[in-house]
Structure formats: structure tokens, C-alpha cells
Structure 1
Amino acid sequence: MPRRTPHNALDEVRTPRRFPGFLKVASVCALITGLLSPFSSAVAVDATPTAAANDYCGGQCSDILPPGENGNATLAQILLNQAFGTQPGHAEDQLGPYADLAKGYPALTDDKVNTFFDDASFGVPADQVASAEKPAGRGDVTIVRDKKTGVPHITGTTRYGTEFGAGYAAAEDRLWLMDLFRHVGRGQLTSFAGGAAANQGLEQQFYRNAPYTEADLQAQIDSAVAKNGARGRQALADVDAYLAGVNAYIDASDSGRYFPGEYVLTGHKDAITNAGTIEHFKVTDMVALASVVGSLFGSGGGGEVNNALSLLAAQAKYGVEEGTRVWESFRERNDPEAVLTVHDGRSFPYAQKPDDPKGEALPDAGSVTQEPLVHDRTGSAATSAARSASTRAATTTLSSARRGMSNALVVSGEHTASGHPVAVFGPQTGYFAPQLLLLQEIQGPGISARGASFAGLSMYVELGRGQDYSWSATTSGQDIIDTYAVELCQDDYHYLYHGTCTAMDKVEQADSWKPTVADGTAAGSYTMRVWRTKYGPVQYRATVGGRKVAYTTLRSSYLHEADSIVGFQMLNDPGFVKGPEDFQKAAQHINYTFNWFYADSRHTAYYNSGDNPVRANGVDAEFPVWARPAYEWRNWDPATNTADDTPPSAHPNSVDQDYYISWNNKQAQDYTAAPWGEGSVHRGNLLEDRVKKLVAAGGVTRASLTKAMADAALADLRAEDVLPKLLKVIDSSQVTDPTAAAAVGELRTWVSAGARRTETSAGSKRYADADAIRILDAWWPLLVKAEFEPGLGSDLYTALTGNLPIDEAPSAGHGPTGSHAGSSFQYGWWSYVDKDIRAVLGEPVRGPLAEKYCGGGSLGGCRDVLLTTLKQAAGMTAVQVYPGDDQCSAGDQWCADSIAQRTLGGIKHYRISWQNRPTYQQVVEYTSHR
């Protein structure tokens, strides 16, 4: 029988808000119709607890994933939520504790950790069992859900039954989201969910990078299975069983009429007659899903064309030699002041700048155009407004998840109170309703794990814990993508491949949509078209030395979206992972770019995963190169997109370092070709400074490490690490202007108080130090522009901001993450400002910028620039600094920063106060080991 937790309709009543994103309630008629849809009957509770497998955490493993485990809702539940704000059971119950840590962390003790997190022990105590079911009547698997969170605990006596149960539970909790994402991965979202701008933007965003045919998807499965022997065959069997469970739930929910209500709102099902179909899942859908997840979180690199454009701008201003020197100083590709995850002095050279670059194919000035993706627009798709809106929607919906991803704090037992390692870690996957991840426990033959998995890919736990170890990941971003300039021949759709004029492969996806209850967009259609070469899809066109070229992007994980499955299978296998070395071997089978962290009762470990291609000698990974044999990846086979990869020992790795921190910062010394902005000030410093201090004092506990994370989560990086130096310049003379003097006083008080963005009291929705925060939010973009643009010139300054945005404050809707996204301060010019200001002050700077920019390099001139812009910022009102949006009134500072659970389905949730932390998070300290 299906799981449907009863709830009080008056619980958690929230003020209804406009429904952004995919769905809108159309009319009272729809409400009445929806209320006629039957709820499924409640499941009888079996008081028998699940049998907990060997659990060596001693009750000291905790985790949390907002907003809640239940991501499915019937039509009636959706419409009640829209009308009255009521919540389905377990849809929102993890949001409050997650939010409360922002005010509760100063008083945190070990015995209060689970006030803000959930107990992540294996099994469910008998008095905490909410429901138990045998999915599809199977005798070899049981799904038990606990009363507090509704998380599924899946216990199987056979491998097939275990995975069947995992699929069934996933569909119970995330069927609509799974369906959305398989259509996103196939470039078929608009035909599935309607032609809203957000839908158009999403499918276009991913289809350009992964334009797979059905044959491509199947070939990736065949390849992953073939190259992994018995484990590959087991993985395929697990997927088949998992899909059988998903499809069994589809059939049961269809016949019982308790399927997600979004199917009615998008026209796939009829609320009265039940006509319509929910398509079964097939194995190739899993690859489509994986391609979306990989594109969001595990495909570092690229951007070579943009790099070339900013280099050309620098050379145009300064000349080739000096312009290159200036560009390199801003690129900071191996900055000696960058915070490192592996800080033991070892070097891991990768993608370093060659002494004599070979094969570069820089575009002629003004010749670059982006390859059009969308063709043959009709109806609502024909308007240019829809096109621009869809692009913005893509930027502010799922691409925000790609920007701010994950942190980790891990301390070895040598420095803890108990002598056992302590870890606080998790991925920042954005805030969505329903959440992209789901929680589960899986116990069966060869599988013993609890934690989070991406919806639709939850045949294994992807981030979580085993019997006596936990693991997590942060996005690493090292470069596994290269851009090739393929020389055109005959016409724009033929290119030279090894001297032969070769036709490009045209891949198209036609999408059309009709108006639905959930979509106010008129009927329309378009065709997405991608031209593929052996060097990957075409992204841009240009001329190089007057010759017409197409710029293509080739990533090592292209055509290999399914390869990582064996690595996750190993991480779930208690017979495989028995210590840190086994953990590292498992992570070596994951081809996406992640930093992996591990803790058990005795050891900690780290490994940087990804198929790092071995580039030809002399190739600079920062820029496009000619598509010629001399510049291809070593032993590259275009038919399978395989090549030589760097060996595991060349990847940053470590066991039992004193501590590890990661917030998407630089991994290790000489590990280059990572994202822009890894310089002297990075948000990783917020963790480094706090954890280093804890380790120096010793006696680290779960509570103290969690407090360090939470404190960093509320810190304004600019205020903590850069503002004191700006004030030092201003303090070089007395401030006589009263407006500027008052602003300086506000800022100084804020810095002295800790430079945090936090409420005056829990739930007040007002910031302490509100004026100082407003002033800095207004000042930062003004001072960066005034500091650098006069020296760089407008063209170069603009080009460099295209490589690295100047700001990513919580409220900065203009920044790369977008508004209400939580994650902040990953991308910005804080390092540039820091290095420049220190140089002007005459302080030592390792890896300085090529010139002094602030005020022409003089202290007095710099002070004038800072005071002029500060006075301008201080005069800006809250309404000017926080202009308002569809969530907030203009001038509402707290709301502008607040985190919104972005709707991907029919249920909405309330906003929470800003904090910069992982979405799913674990706090662990194992007491013993097998």
C-alpha cells in the first residue's frame, strides 16, 4: 500500500504567495475539481522495528535535509497548499530545525546537536515506527518510515528486493521531480511540463552540453557495464530492480489515484476520469538524469573562449607581453596565498601553464558568435521576450545550484576531545521544493548505508554513512573540459578532421506545448539543434587568423554519464569499504569532479575525483587549441571519447591530515586550471581560520565544529577579510566629512561585532548592524568599479567581470547565483581588492596583481576613491539597495537575503533567514570500528 502520512490540515498554515516556476493554480473550478480527487487510505502501522545493521556510530551520527522528505503531493494537497498554506505530512518538517541553527548555534552542546539535526542511526526504534509496507506485496523487502521525518528505511532479504524497495520509496517521495529531470536531460521539458519561460530555459541549458540521442544513452550503459566486469553487471541488475520498483509505484498510484497532482495540472491526467498516462521509467532515463546532475555539479572547466576574449582585451590595451602579464595576475591560476585543502606541502601538478604554449587558436577580435540553439519558433516561442526570459529563468533556477556547492570540516582524532575524528560536511545543492536530494536508509545483501541521493538515482546512497564510516563531497571544479577550434571546409557544417573534410552530425529535438491549467503560456513550438563533431558539440563560431572555425567543447565525462555508478556501489558496500584506502579506491571510480571526504573512528581521508585528461605537451588548458592530432588528449579515441587520464596518485589525496576544510577552494599546491577567484581571499578562508584555531586549542567536539561551520555560514566574507584593510586606508588621515565618518563608524562597529549577517533575535526578520550591512552591500560594487576600471579601461574591466563577477552577496540578484539562493561569496573580486589594497598600503603581497590600481597606486589617491564611493553608498536608501522582487517588497533587507525553496512542483514553503551552508549536512563522530 502507498505511504501517505496523515496530517492536520491546520498545521503549519502559511500566508499564501504567488506560485512561481513551473505551475500556477488556474481557477476556483480547478480547486473544486481537485478536491474531488481521492486521498489514498493511510497505511496500517506495523509496530515491528526494522532490524538495524551493525551501527558503530554510537548515536553520534546526525543529518538534515530541508524542507522535508515528502516531495509528492496529490492534487487536493497542492490546491489546499495554494489556497491556505497547509502542508502535506513531512513536506516541511526539516525546514524549521535547519533554519533555527542560525540563531541557536552559540549555545550548542553535543547533547543539543539533534535539536537542529536528525538522528542518523541505522534502523527505527519500535516506538518510532510510523508505517511499514511491503511494496507491491513483495516478501523480500520492507519499507519502514519513522514518525519524526518520514524517511524510508528499506530492508531487503534479496538484492533485487532491496533495490526494488529503493525505487518504490523514491517514487513515493519524488516521482514528479524524477519525471521532470528525465525530460530535462532529454531536452523534452516543455512538451512535458508546458512552455513557461523557466521550462524553456532549463531544457536549453542542458541540451546544449549533452545533446544525446537514444542510442547515445544506451551506449553509455553498455560501456559502463562492460568495463566494470562483475560490478558493472551487478549495477545494471540493481538499476533494473530499482526501475521495477519505480514503475510498480506508478501503476499503484495511477490505479489508486494518489499520483502527484502536477500530472493533472500539466494535462497528463484527468482529475475526474483518470484518463491519461504516467510513462514508465526505462534504463536510458537514468543516464538522462545523470547527465543533468553531472552538468550541475561534476563538470569543472570550460570557459576557454571567454578566457581568450579577456586576454585579447588585455593585449589590446597593454600589448602582447604586458597584457599577458596583467591577465595572468588576475587569473590567479596558482596563487601562493590561496587556501588549500591539502596543506601538508605536497604538490600535485595538473594543467599548469606551459613554458612554451603550443597550438593556441585565439579568435580574431570581434569574430566570436555563440552557436544558436533554438530554431523554427512558432506561437509563444516566436517572441524574443520568451527567449530572453527563458535564459534568465535558467540562470536563476537550477544553475544557482551549480554555483554554490558544499563545504566540509573534518578534524583528526589527534585534536578532538574523544580521540575520534569529527566531521561536519555536506553538499550545497540549492534550495528547492521538492528538494533535489532525498534521504533513505538501504540495508540488504552487499548494501548498508544511510544518507542522501539525487532523486531518480537513489539505487545507492550517494552522500552519507555506512556501518562505521561517513563520506561526503564538495564540487572541485578542476578542468576536464577543453575547447577545440575545428577548421571549417566546404561550408559551415563540414570541418577538417585529420585532414579530411568531414560532415558535422546534426542532432535535433523538437518541442511543442499547449496551454495547460499549470501554464499560462500560449501554444508554441521550437526545435533545439546542436551540431556535433568528433571534438564535441559546437558552442561558438569565429575566425582565427581569417580562417573560419567552430569552437567545440569536449569534456572527459561526455558520453560517460553512467560510469560513476560503480564508485557509488562500492561506497555502499560494507564488504568493500573497511578503511580510508578502500574509500579512496571507490572514489577513484567516480569520473565527475568532486572532493571526497571520509571519517571513521580512527582515520580521516580525502580524494579528488574526476577523469583528468592527459593533455598534449605544450597545450595550455586555459585557451582554445587547434583540433589537430598534435594537440589532442593523449591516446584519445573519438569513437568512445576515452583517453589517458592522470593516475590516482596524481590527484590531490591525503589520509589523516590534522584537518581538512573545503568550500570549493583550491585543492592543493600546483593543482591549477580551476575556477577563477582562487586567490588570497576565498570563502574557504572562513572555514580555515575557524578550524585552524579549534585544532590549535585541541579538544574539538561535534558541537564546536558545528559552531565553527555555523559561524562561517553567517559571516560576510567582504566584511571579515577585506573591510578591515579598506578601513586601514581610510584611517591614514582623519575623516572630516560627516556622512563618510558616520558610515565608517557603522562599519567599524559591525566588524568589531564579528561581521555577521544575523537577526536581532530569532524570527525578528531584522538584521543587527542593518545600516552597516546596507552600506557595504551598496559600497562593494561602487568601490570595485572605481578602484579598477580607470586603470584597466572599460573594455578590459568588462571582459574580466565576464570571467569573474565582482560580487555574490546574499541579496545580489545580479550575481551569478541569483536571489534567495543561500550560497554566497563563492565568486567575487575580494582577492583582487585585498591584494591591491595591501600593495597600496606597502604591505607584502605574494602573487601580486601586475599593477597598483586603487587611486593610481598612491595611498592618498586610493583613500579619495574609497571615501568618495563610501559616501555615495551611505547615501543610498534601503529601497535603492534592495529593490524588491516577486518575493520581497523594496527595501526589505532581511527578505532580500532570505532563502526561498524554489518551486519545482506544486507545493510552496516559507522563506528562512539567510545562512551560507550545505543543503544536506552530516555531523558525525564514530565511537568504534568493525
Structure 2
Amino acid sequence: MPRRTPGTTLDTLRTPRRFPKFLKAASICALVAGLLSPVTAGAARAATADDHCGGQCSDILPPGENGNATLAEILLNQAFGTQPAHAEDQLGPYADLAKGYPTLTDDKINSFFNDASFGVPSDQVASTEKPAGRGDVTIVRDKKSGVPHITGTTRYGTEFGAGYAAAEDRLWLMDVFRHVGRGQLTSFAGGAPANQGLEQQFYRSAPYTEADLQAQIDTAVAKGGARGRQALADVDAYLAGINAYIDASDAGRYFPGEYDLTGHKDPITNAGTIEHFKATDLVALSSVIGSLFGSGGGGEVTNALSLLAAQAEYGVQEGTRVWESFRERNDPEAVLTLHDGQSFPYAAKPATAQGEALPDPGSVTQEPLVHDRTGSATGSAAKGAATTAAKAAVSSARRGMSNALVVSGAHTASGHPVAVFGPQTGYFAPQLLLLQEIQGPGISARGASFAGLSMYVELGRGQDYSWSATTSGQDIIDTYAVELCQDDVHYLYHGTCTAMDKVEQANSWKPTLADGTAAGSYTMRVWRTKYGPVQYRATVGGKKVAYTTLRSSYRHEVDSIIGFQMLNDPDAVKGPQDFQKATQHINFTFNWFYADAQHTAYYNSGDNPVRANGVDAEFPVWAQSAYEWKNWDPATNTADYTPTSAHPNSIDQDYYISWNNKQAKDYTAAPWGEGSVHRGDLLEDRVKALVTAGGVTRASLTRAMADAALADLRAEDVLPNLLKVIGSSQVTDPTAAAAVSKLQAWVAAGARRTETSAGSKAYANADAVRILDAWWPLLVKGEFEPRLGSDLYTAFTANLPVDESPSAGHGATGSHAGSAFQYGWWSYVDKDIRAVLGEPVQGPLAQTYCGGGNLGACRDMLISTLKQAAGTPAAQVYPGDDQCSAGDQWCADSIAQRALGGIKHGKISWQNRPTYQQVVEYTSHR
């Protein structure tokens, strides 16, 4: 039975020239009549597994489950805005929580979430199918959301059904990302800047050949033993299901319309092919997902440049002290996920660093990636456009706003743990994740999986437990300085001059897109060494070097499949200890959370390399045996890793919060900005208050999450002290006084960015929001640049952006991406302003910056910049873009589902919350 699901084009996809962009309604109706065929619905009831959630498991994943669309459906969407069934039916409830949460009760949760119970009641069955006529698997879809519930009587049939359902829902997206992972997107989907940027971003960090991809499969199977062999069998069955759908949809002409729009299929004759998937495609997909979400660390060259700038400004000793204070490696005021005093030392600053290879000032250049470019877009302009487009397309996923709120049963109304948690994978159309339920021999789970990797549920629930993850970001990447010899493509390895490996990927594209993209081509080239790919060139002490990047998951993205297999196996996970054992098999850098009817748990995963004594993980080191990872084998890129007991872990802490914040005391290998003010504080304050009061419910914990999702971190945690400095004397300037009054009123109202009423598209306290948005970058620059100097200030902003407000297109995430307040100078401002006020500061900055430490001078600077901000018109604060008119504050903040196919969706009001989210409370346990 064919399933028609809406697809989504890359931002560059448009109606091809042979199909005018605006067709007459009659023409479209005729085309639709010729292309659509009926989809029947069955009435069978799906078999249910042992479900201990008692109807108290819920989830949500916008915009909708249906991520494939036929050509007719795409044309209708573009012409009239119509949506295929289940293409965006989860977007409305997701958006509505922003206004509905204050009055949320447990019985209203499923007004904003799906019922995530196992199975489908008979009166809620929308369709039933036996994919490819198989008798050992059934796919039932529910009426509300169209989620596939896959039930198999054999393991092979179960996985076949999972592959078939994935292709029904995300075939085009899966095809896009298998090409991204190979660096072949432009040849597949056209050469627009967004496509170029995507393939360039990932190819630089994972320049794999076909042999490399196959080697990952062989290694994972060999390491995994019986589970590894089972994983390979599951992959084979999953691929067979995907390919069966490709064949059926091709024969029935209901495949995604993007294949027509990109010239892979002829919409009239049906000529052309959709390539079958193979196992190495899934490895390519894994490399993209691992790079996006599970590879913390790196940045050693940027760190070195800012350290050199600090030393140039202040001298070596004081400059180093200043740098360390801004780095905040182990800040005592940082919010922690494990708050019971546990210590997990990792990557601490050595007493005396060994093997450092800092570049000579002014010598660093980035290794060029693109060569032999042809076409209308040439040179640096094309490179810049591609890079910008890449950041706009995927940065929200990489930066993320995954969070978790988990409360133990000792503090809940029912006595059972409650969890509200989920990953942030950005907002895309279709979404990178898909929902599914899988029931079969050795598998019993429901939840979200990355499209094309959904042979197992990756985040979701089992029979009597749920699990989720947030990106942890601990450092599994190091930069090595390989000394060059003979020429620029030979280097010294253990004293022998060794040739680098050249890996290239050629791409060419035709002018088939209606947006005017010209024909063109280029070649991506990466030089690989035993210490990883070359990223920069420089000199160190006059010697020519290449800086390479080595990560522990490099050439090992597939290894994590064993951990996910275990999480889906009801015989493998029967309690918190089993959960921790499963997540220990995941080599990506994630924080994992668990809840069942009796226990909660946490584990931080990732292959953390054991570094040589004296190596400082923050800076490049010489590529010499004395400074390599312990027992590192370059042939396999394996080494000694820190033991599982050394990873932050816990069972039954009173509560856990995570918003990509610091995991535990002394766990120092983390991103910049984990200091006294972090968006994790927004969760910590709310959940701690709930736990103190007791009687936590699903609704109250969801309200806490939703309230934090609308909070402006700067306004809640930093602005009150800024106003305290200004208020240290009477404010006589009328412009400043009016601005202060508006800001005070906003803080008193809760410091949230929220609509005046549902659907109003206008903020309460709108002028205060505008003033702070305009003021923050001005006050940070006025506070720090005079004493740091412009060179050092600029270098530090390369390590950590000044601001990441929802509308800050200049920030780490980009516009319309939802995620906000992860990266910014809030901690620096907070510590410095408290020092000026004479308040105690643990882990202070090396110097006091605002007004040189003088309260009056600091106040003058704040008032001066506040007046400037107050006078900045909305059209300048919110300059407008392809989504919004200049000055439209609500629109500037709004979340857009970034198109990866032909179907487009409307914008929703800003929320800072996970994309996929669960609300769970189990009533019983096996």
C-alpha cells in the first residue's frame, strides 16, 4: 500500500523551469489527478507489548511525521500552501505550549504532546500494511500523527519494516544526507551555496573513501561480537526494506517529488533511477550525525591565537592569567548536572605543559578545501556564500538546545520519577528525526531516530523505562603540529619523512534549478596524516608545520550501534545499571538520562582519550610519540580511554538538569562559557524550587521547562545587577531613566520573551526587549574592549561570541533557529559587574574591566550605551531578512522550519526547547 508523505527540498530547490513556479489552479488539479492514487486504511488493531507507562508517556516532534511528498503535493504546497497529511500536524501543538503552559495540568498534557503508549487502539488505526507483501511484519499508522508502529514476528521482518517505514517518511532526506556524508551533495541536488556549504562542512572533518566506510562496518562487527553480528544482520534487513520501498514507489510513481525537481526522474516519462541504499550509505549518514551532535572539543588553534593575543597585550605571565580567567576551565560558580559534590577529573590544566606547539604570530592560515572551481560563482565570494549558507542550515542542530529535567520519586506526588527531556536537532522540513514504534524479537521501543539510521529507536522509551540525551561537548579532539619535510605534503612521523594521503571529491552540477544556479564544478581536497586531516598551516619556532585534527570517534562513527541496540532490547536494560552499561558502548559525546518507575540515572558517554602526561588539551602539541594518546594505534585510530567509572555518572540523585552545561566538578574539557551564568541556571533554579516544595508532577515539571524556554537569560540573571550599578545614583537623563523603567518592569514581569496573547505576533514588554537586544553588544564592547584592547577583545570573541539572542543572526546559531543563550559573554559580564559592586565572586576574572573597576566610571559607560541602545530603531535592531520585514521583532525571533525539500511550513513563536521531547512517568516496573 503506497504511502504519500511530504518531502522537503534544500533551500535551493524550486520548481524547475519546465514547470512554471506559479501554475494555474486548473493545471495543478489536472496534474494532481494524474499523479495521485488512493491510499487505503485498515482497521486492524496493532499488537501491544508489555507497557508499564500507564498512559503517562507522551512525546512530540514537529513539524510532522510525514516527510515525503509527491511532485503534485509539492506543487500544491508551493502554489496554495496546502499540506500533505501529517506533514505539520505536530507543529501546532508544539507551538501552542508557549501560551498554554501556565495552566497546564496532567490531563491536558496530550493537548500539546502525543500519547506515546505502545500500540494503537483499534478506533485510532489509520492504515495497516504488509510491506512488500511480507507475512512477518505489519506497519500500523495512527490517525492522530501517522506514526508507524512496526510489529514483526521475526527479527529480519521487524527490521525490514523499520527500513520500509523510514523510506515512506524520509526517503528524500535520507538520500540528501548520504550524499552530504560523502561530500557529493552538489552533484546530487545542485550547486547552490547552501548545498556547497553542507558538503564542505562535513567533508573537512570526515573525508572518507568508500574503503574507509566499509572498514568501519568490518571493525564494528568484529568488536561487537554476537551483538556486532546481529547489528550487521539488522542493517541488511533494514536496507532491504528501504530498497523495497524505492522499487515500489518507483513502479507506482509515488516517490518523493524532489527527484523530479532535481532531474533524477522525469515527471512525464518516469525515466531515471533512485539509487538503492547500501550499508556504507548508513556509515556516511552516521558520520554526519556524529559530527553534528557527538564530537566535542577541538578549537586548539583558535585558543592558541587568543592566548598569544593576551600575552602580546599583557606579557606572558599576566596575559596567560587573563586568558585562563576567560577560559573558565573549571569555574566554581558553574551550574552542574551532578551537584552532590562528585568529582570526575578529566583534561585538567597540567602544572607544567609539555609539547606545546604554539604558532608563530601571524603565520596561521586555514587549509584550502575547494579547488578547480568553475561556474558563475567563483573565488572567495562563492566560498563565503557557501560557508554562510552552511551555518544557516545546520548550526542550530550543531549548537543545539537539548535539555533534560529529571526528578526522583522521593520528590514527586506519585512517588515515581518524572522526566521531561529531549534532544535539539534543529528545526527542519522534514525533521532530521522521525518517530516510530518497533516491536519484534529482541526489540521493544518507541521514540525518535535519525532518518536513515532508524533500525533502532535512538531516543525514547522501552517497556518500563525512558531515556534521552543532550550534547555534552567534552573534549575528544586534539590538534597536532606535524613538522613538514621535503615539501608541503610530506611530514615527519616518528622521525621518518612520510607522504600525506590526498583524498579528493569532485562535484559538478547542471543549471536545472529555477533559482538561477549556474552550471559549475569544483573539487574538495583534504590532506590526511596519521594524526588526522590537515586543518591549518603555520610555522612554529620558524619550522613549517601542518596542524591536524584527531578525534577519538574518527573512523569509528559506527561503533555506537551496539549501545543503541542494547537500549532497544528489553532483556538488556532492566534497570539503571543496565542503562549505564548500554550507553557506555556509545562513543559519541552525550549526556544520557534515564527514568523508570523506581529509579533515575545519568551517564556521560564518549571515548575520552588518555593523554600523555603534561599535555594541555587546550592547545596544539607536537606530533611526536611522547605527546600522543596513550597506546594510540594510527592504523586503527584506537587508544587507551578513560575508564567508565571516570565518566560523570550517577543513580538516583534528587534531580538532574542539563542544558549543555558543565557535567560535574573537575570535568574541565568543555566549551567556553561554562561560568557563573549559563542557560542551565534557568532549569536549575526552577527544578530546585519544585524539588524543595515537593509533590512534583508531569505538569509542573513541563511548566518549569516551558517557562525556562521563554526566558531571556540576560534579563533574568545579569540585568538586575546592571540596573543595580545604574541605580547606585539617581538617573537624571530622561532617555536613560525611561529605558531603565521599561527594563525594570520587564524583569518584574518575569523577563520572558512572550506574546501578549496567543497568535498576536507581538511581545509583551516589546520595547524593553528591543532595548536589551540593542544594548547587550554595546555594553559588552564598552565594558571589556578598553582594557583588553581591540586585538585581544576580537580574539576572545572568536573563542566565544558575545551574544546569542533569539534574533541574533550574527551569533553562533543563526536566525530563526530557536536555540539561544548557549554561547555568550553573560558569565564575564556577571562576574565583572559583581566585582565592581564589591560583591563576592568565586573564580573572578583576572582584572576588573567595567570602568577600570571604578563604580562611577562603570555606571557612566552603562548609561551611555543604554541611551544609544534606547535610540536604536527596531528596523536597525531587527534588520529583516528573507523571512521578515525590517523592524518585525516577533518575526526576527520566530522559528522557521528550514526547508530540506519541497514542502514549506509557517513560522512559529520563539521557544528555547528541544525539538523532540518526552514527558514520562512510569507507574510500574517489570
TM-score (norm 1): 0.98
Partner of 2:2: 2
Shift of 1:155: 0.2
Q: Can you list the C-alpha shifts for 1:477-514, whole angstroms capped at 9, x where unaligned?
A: 00000000000000000000000000000000000000
- How far apart, CA to CA, are the structure 2 residues paired with 1:759 and 1:343? 35
SS at match of 1:452: strand
SS at match of 1:549: strand
- How far apart, CA to CA, are the structure 2 residues paired with 1:618 and 1:29? 65
Q: Can you list the C-alpha shifts for 1:69-100, whole angstroms capped at 9, x where unaligned?
A: 00000001001000000000000000000000
Shift of 1:19: 8.8
8 Å contact from structure 1 (residues 34, 271) kept in 2: no
Q: Can you list the C-alpha shifts for 1:531-552, whole angstroms capped at 9, x where unaligned?
A: 0000000000000000000000
Partner of 2:889: 893
Question: Tell me, which stretches of 5 or more residues in structure 1 are unaligned?
Answer: 7-17
Q: Quick check: 1:544 aligned with 2:534?
A: no
Letter of the 1:600 counterpart: D
Shift of 1:873: 0.2
Partner of 2:372: 376
- How far apart, CA to CA, are the structure 2 residues paired with 1:727 and 1:862? 12
Letter of the 1:532 counterpart: R
Match of 2:13 among 17, 23, 37: 23
- How far apart, CA to CA, are the structure 1 residues paired with 2:310 and 2:275? 53
Q: Quick check: 1:606 aligned with 2:602?
A: yes
Shift of 1:174: 0.2
- How far apart, CA to CA, are the structure 1 residues paired with 2:269 and 2:28? 11
Partner of 1:306: 302
- How far apart, CA to CA, are the structure 2 residues paired with 1:268 and 1:232? 35
Q: Quick check: 1:716 aligned with 2:716?
A: no
Letter of the 1:22 counterpart: T
- How far apart, CA to CA, are the structure 2 residues paired with 1:200 and 1:573? 40
Q: Quick check: 1:284 aligned with 2:280?
A: yes
Counterparts of 1:183-262 in structure 2 under 5 Å? 183-262=179-258
Partner of 1:66: 62
Match of 1:636 among 628, 632, 639: 632
Q: Can you list the C-alpha shifts for 1:230-263, whole angstroms capped at 9, x where unaligned?
A: 0000000000000000000000000100000000
- How far apart, CA to CA, are the structure 2 residues paired with 1:118 and 1:91? 15
Match of 1:128 among 121, 124, 132: 124
SS at match of 2:83: coil
Partner of 1:109: 105
8 Å contact from structure 2 (residues 44, 122) kept in 1: yes
Match of 1:514 among 494, 504, 510: 510
Shift of 1:44: 2.8
Shift of 1:383: 4.4
Shift of 1:520: 2.3
Counterparts of 1:581-730 in structure 2 under 5 Å? 581-730=577-726
Partner of 2:750: 754
Shift of 1:3: 2.0
Partner of 1:362: 358
8 Å contact from structure 2 (residues 158, 438) kept in 1: yes
Partner of 1:778: 774
Counterparts of 1:454-473 in structure 2 under 5 Å? 454-473=450-469
Letter of the 2:599 counterpart: H
- How far apart, CA to CA, are the structure 1 residues paired with 2:191 and 2:257? 19
Shift of 1:310: 0.1
Match of 1:271 among 249, 267, 270: 267
8 Å contact from structure 1 (residues 170, 455) kept in 2: yes
Counterparts of 1:68-107 in structure 2 under 5 Å? 68-107=64-103
- How far apart, CA to CA, are the structure 2 residues paired with 1:169 and 1:284? 20
- How far apart, CA to CA, are the structure 1 residues paired with 2:532 and 2:746? 50
Shift of 1:42: 3.2
Partner of 2:449: 453
Match of 1:569 among 559, 562, 565: 565
Letter of the 2:14 counterpart: K
Letter of the 1:255 counterpart: A
Partner of 2:387: 391
- How far apart, CA to CA, are the structure 2 residues paired with 1:731 and 1:434? 49
Shift of 1:711: 0.2
- How far apart, CA to CA, are the structure 1 residues paired with 2:843 and 2:446? 44
- How far apart, CA to CA, are the structure 2 residues paired with 1:900 and 1:922? 22
| Matched residue count | 919
Partner of 2:345: 349
- How far apart, CA to CA, are the structure 1 residues paired with 2:236 and 2:449? 17
Q: Quick check: 1:417 aligned with 2:413?
A: yes
8 Å contact from structure 1 (residues 757, 768) kept in 2: yes
Letter of the 1:520 counterpart: G
8 Å contact from structure 1 (residues 634, 644) kept in 2: yes
- How far apart, CA to CA, are the structure 2 residues paired with 1:512 and 1:33? 32
8 Å contact from structure 1 (residues 486, 496) kept in 2: yes
8 Å contact from structure 1 (residues 469, 926) kept in 2: yes
Question: Tell me, which stretches of 5 or more residues in structure 2 are unaligned?
Answer: none
Letter of the 2:31 counterpart: L
8 Å contact from structure 2 (residues 804, 820) kept in 1: yes
Partner of 1:492: 488
Q: Quick check: 1:294 aligned with 2:284?
A: no
Shift of 1:851: 0.3
- How far apart, CA to CA, are the structure 2 residues paired with 1:378 and 1:137? 48
- How far apart, CA to CA, are the structure 2 residues paired with 1:515 and 1:862? 57
Partner of 2:150: 154
- How far apart, CA to CA, are the structure 2 residues paired with 1:380 and 1:496? 40
8 Å contact from structure 2 (residues 448, 460) kept in 1: yes
- How far apart, CA to CA, are the structure 2 residues paired with 1:332 and 1:481? 19
- How far apart, CA to CA, are the structure 2 residues paired with 1:113 and 1:441? 20
- How far apart, CA to CA, are the structure 2 residues paired with 1:545 and 1:487? 11
Letter of the 1:21 counterpart: D
- How far apart, CA to CA, are the structure 2 residues paired with 1:101 and 1:600? 25
Q: Is the alpha carbon distance of 1:537 and 1:215 closer, same or farther for their aligned partners in structure 2, counting shifts above 3 Å?
A: same
Counterparts of 1:723-738 in structure 2 under 5 Å? 723-738=719-734
Give the % identical residues: 86
Q: Cα RMSD over matched residues?
A: 1.2
Q: Quick check: 1:54 aligned with 2:50?
A: yes
Q: Quick check: 1:863 aligned with 2:853?
A: no
8 Å contact from structure 1 (residues 900, 911) kept in 2: yes
Counterparts of 1:520-559 in structure 2 under 5 Å? 520-559=516-555
8 Å contact from structure 2 (residues 602, 651) kept in 1: yes
- How far apart, CA to CA, are the structure 2 residues paired with 1:519 and 1:55? 50
TM-score (norm 2): 0.98
Q: Quick check: 1:818 aligned with 2:814?
A: yes
SS at match of 1:491: coil
Shift of 1:21: 1.0
Letter of the 1:269 counterpart: K
Letter of the 1:251 counterpart: D
Partner of 1:838: 834
Q: Can you list the C-alpha shifts for 1:573-603, whole angstroms capped at 9, x where unaligned?
A: 0010000000000000000000000000000
Q: Quick check: 1:36 aligned with 2:3?
A: no
- How far apart, CA to CA, are the structure 1 residues paired with 2:47 and 2:74? 35
SS at match of 2:841: coil
